Amino acid sequence: MQNEFKFWVHLLDTPGPEALAALQAALAPGIRLTWGRELPENAGYHVLVGGRPERQHLTGSPALRMYVIPFAGMPPKARELLAEFPHIAVHNLHHNASLTAEMAVALLMSAAKFVVPFDQDLRRGDWSRRYRHSPALALEGKTALVLGFGHIGQRVGRACWALGMRVLGLRRHPEKEDGLDYPAEIYGLPALNELLPQTHVLVVTLPATPETEGLVGAAELGSMPPGGVLVNVGRGPIVEQAALYQALETGHLRAAGLDVWYNYPADEPGRKETFPGDYPFHELENLVLSPHRGGGTDETEALRMQALAGLLNAAAAGKPVPNRVDVELGY
């Protein structure tokens, strides 16, 4: 039976029955699929799929030439380990780019319009806020800076443009042609400090790497015009938490919406008793809090399997494989 297969893929994490069936149905003929943290006998897999490999997984097959991380980004331990195996190509999946972009837009609208505090008051029968000066920000005519203008950022930019905003995009390779269907001004990351004084809405969609950690601190937030809005769906540490808390508490930032954080539960009991930062973010009325769920919907796993099958089919056919990761840079 094994000889019928020309291309072997091993999944470190076992998908649920429906997801596994969907993946198997979408794979091209000739692809062998195995799964589990324990390696199969006489392992000869060409592709390994998983988020957090161990050394034996990377050395267990002499035929291994590709490692696929089934989500966007690269866990630090995986990056450190894979750096020792330069012959193994690393690829990401971006199946949830549209979902995460939708969350970014939801957080932007909720933060800019102060939806949550008005909602909470009205649930108590309190209409008082309606008759006071509105803190909401008008978005039309404002400038949005998308920090990380890739799969997610470009979708966020399109939504901002549709709302009548000027769109600025920052990324590592500003010269790359994407065929955007809306106008956007694209710059390299060194232009950040030049553009922040023009920025009313800052949306962070970058991955966490040594280069991006702490990229937005007190100086950067302080150079934004007073009364701006920040949205982070990338990774928490890209924005320094002390600077963010102070900017929100003082009102220099009008509001913010965060789906990524600084502290996460260490175990199951911690899921009910872990505050997301070292500062009392939960006390801020001008902050919308979301527990890192931007890519989660009832369709996420189906989209993941569809994207994974497309990538594996391309690899098996010897075609270009999308979403190559630069292990040194971390994305």
- Cite the active site residues: 235, 273, 292
Structure tokens, 318: 């010897």
Question: 191 burial class (0-12, 13-18, 19+ CB within 10 angstroms)?
Answer: middle
**Whole-angstrom Cα distance, residue 290 to residue 280?**
15
Instruction: Please say whether the dihedral angle defined by the alpha carbons of residues 219, 224, 228 and 233, taken in this order, is positive or negative.
Output: negative
Query: Cα angle at 123 between 260 and 116, to 5 degrees?
Result: 25
3-class secondary structure, 288: strand
* Interior/surface letters 266-277, b for 16+ CB within 10 angstroms, e for the rest: eeeeeeeeeebb
**CA separation for the pair 187, 8 (Å, rounded):** 41
Using CB atoms within 10 A of its CB, is residue 54 exposed (0-12), middle (13-18) or buried (19+)? middle
66-69 β-sheet, strand order: 31-35, 7-11, 47-49, 66-69, 89-92
- Tell me the three state secondary structure of residue 71: coil
b/e 27-46 (16+ beta carbons within 10 angstroms → b): beeebbbebeeebbeebebb
What is the rounded CA–CA span in Å between residue 330 and residue 148? 14
3-state SS class at 216: strand
